[in-house]
Structure 1
């Protein structure tokens, strides 16, 4: 999968640089489907071999996160036909698979018998929904980061090139300017829609986790580090969605919130588990 993701990353970036080569666009989609299928097969085989859904340790969750990223990417590209999605999400998939395959020690890649608290049907529901919410929110946040980068470039060029030597607006520049405005709006709206999908998933995942926690530990909420950061993640993206309703908070300001959310998601997902503390520390369980 790592080699496929690396190849796909090159394809997407070359496709952006040379848009006229249409075969690259189709090739990127084909590679993405192959990657998703290979990850699906890997997860299914582990499920069959171990007898439980493969989300019990860090390695399995990283593979599932990559599967979620590629799956969402396939759906979005089919609906939007925008290769920018793949160009920014593929590096994340490359990182997660690379980290899982190359950085984690061998004993963390091997499945082990579940501890009693994890022997529940809630394992599949809670963790899979949380991982899908992470994948969706990461992708939406990445688009917000891209929006901020293009926003800055747009206004820098606007200040430098607004007038030509005769102090009149260049027609070519005007066309490019409006094209960029359309691109910015498209990226901003797509980011909003993706985060709007990820937020309910995060909400359902947190609620499912609370119900499971009550069954396993006798309490719906224990202010465990993972629970606390999940709540922080929820609040950040709730603030983002609320800010989109406010007319005075359009464009750049909500995108900054979503960009902060990108960091928060990774802290919630990986950062807390590096500490190895709390009720969610079973085998770096996520």
Structure 2
């Protein structure tokens, strides 16, 4: 399987996710919404698995390859949120965002049949990046809901029930960020002999992690200040974007960082 087959998997997956989002608003549509979402995930993951086999390595090296995983985990995060808290709109937003990343990959795939450098030929490579991509998707869902709360209809109050969803998503996303950082530290120790080196990518990862912790602690002590908390959440998400792909364009990372994605 090669990249030319992507559209044959991406479009059916998007169609399934779209039907899932539509069924969520139908009476008694919960079961069908879950079924179509899962079907789309199976179809999309079939392409990821096929690329993994054909490349003879995890498709996690380039920015385009990480977008594949992000497109996959966004509907996963949406499904988890829908099943747990029954927020119907989340399936529509997760489908829309997944569609955006799929379109970017169709226009600029950045997927190449290249051999991994020795440092990436580690059993920690795949779990480290996959865990991070799942964390990014969950935190993305939290950011979407934060925007919804900030720009809600005039006069509609932000209550603790609504904020609880943001809190729960941040708890899950931060937990997986922590696991991803631990995996990365172990991998770095095996590859380079040290757990942490303040590489630009590592620095922004630490900033992202601390930003989410700041939100959590703020919410524990200032529960009534909803807008300030939502502002902190969105700031943390901006830090995440810098950590994920913005660091590739920072002068401090050019030719120095071992974590920047292969952009060629």
TM-score, with structure 1 as normaliser: 0.77
Which residue in the other structure is 1:224 paired with?
199
Matched, 1:193 2:168: yes
Flag the 1:216–1:258 CA change in 2: closer, same or farther, 3 A.
Answer: same
Distance in 1 (CA, whole Å) between partners of 2:249 and 2:222 is 40
Deviations 1:50-105 (Å, cap 9, x if unpaired)? Answer: 3332212222211111111111222221222221212322222112111122134x
Q: Is the 8 A contact 2:13 2:44 kept in 1?
A: no
Larger Rg: 1
Matched, 1:258 2:233: yes
Matched, 1:84 2:93: no
Q: How far apart are residue 115 of structure 1 and its match? A: 0.5
Flag the 1:115–1:137 CA change in 2: closer, same or farther, 3 A.
Answer: same
- Output the aligned Cα RMSD: 2.7
Which residue in the other structure is 1:54 paired with?
59
**1:1-286 to 2 correspondence within 5 Å?**
1-2=10-11, 4-5=13-14, 8=17, 12=21, 21-22=26-27, 28-104=33-109, 108-150=110-152, 153-155=153-155, 180-181=156-157, 184-247=159-222, 250-275=225-250, 277=254, 278-284=257-263
Deviations 1:106-126 (Å, cap 9, x if unpaired)? Answer: xx2223111001000010121
Q: Is the 8 A contact 1:143 1:188 kept in 2?
A: no
Distance in 1 (CA, whole Å) between partners of 2:242 and 2:36 is 30
Which residue in the other structure is 2:6 paired with?
none
Q: How far apart are residue 282 of structure 1 and its match? A: 4.9
5+ residue gaps, structure 2, are: 1-9
Distance in 2 (CA, whole Å) between partners of 1:15 and 1:47 is 32
5+ residue gaps, structure 1, are: 156-179
Flag the 1:255–1:9 CA change in 2: closer, same or farther, 3 A.
Answer: farther
Flag the 1:124–1:4 CA change in 2: closer, same or farther, 3 A.
Answer: closer
Flag the 1:25–1:101 CA change in 2: closer, same or farther, 3 A.
Answer: farther
Q: Is the 8 A contact 2:201 2:260 kept in 1?
A: no
Q: How far apart are residue 229 of structure 1 and its match? A: 0.9
Q: How far apart are residue 3 of structure 1 and its match? A: 6.5
Q: Is the 8 A contact 1:142 1:262 kept in 2?
A: no
TM-score, with structure 2 as normaliser: 0.83
Deviations 1:179-227 (Å, cap 9, x if unpaired)? Answer: x54x854432111101101101101111221221122122322221211
Give SS of 2:262's match: helix
